[in-house]
């Protein structure tokens, strides 16, 4: 079992390094249930994929790409 864990970790590291070489920034997001529900309601995420991290990430990426195409700007930004 330990060997399998090492292989999975090595694979994640390889993918992360490859993304960095391609200029991709990898971020971690904590997504609340209400946000997931809103993504489903807006049609960006299928309800059957509400627990699928890859599907949620894809929904956020597609949403961000669409927003940048439309040059959507925030009304106000609070951080």
Structure-block tokens of residue 9: 């970790």
Over residues 48-72, the mean pLDDT reads 92
Band of the pLDDT at 1, cuts 50, 70, 90? low
Q: pTM score > 0.85 for this model?
A: no
Residue (of 50, 64, 27, 60) closest to 74 by Cα position: 64
Q: Torsion over CA of 43, 48, 54 and 56, rounded to 10 degrees?
A: 40
Band of the pLDDT at 2, cuts 50, 70, 90? low
75 vs 2, which has greater pLDDT? 75
> Tens of pLDDT along 19-53?
889 998 888 899 999 999 999 999 999 999 999 99
């Amino acid at each position: 079992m330990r060997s399998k864990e090492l292989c999975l970790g090595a694979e994640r590291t390889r993918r992360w390094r490859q993304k960095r070489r391609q200029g991709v920034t990898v971020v971690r997001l904590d997504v609340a249930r209400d946000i997931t529900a809103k993504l489903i309601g807006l049609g960006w995420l299928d309800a059957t994929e509400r627990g699928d991290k890859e599907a949620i990430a894809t929904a956020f990426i597609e949403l961000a790409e669409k927003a940048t195409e439309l040059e959507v700007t925030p009304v106000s930004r609070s951080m």
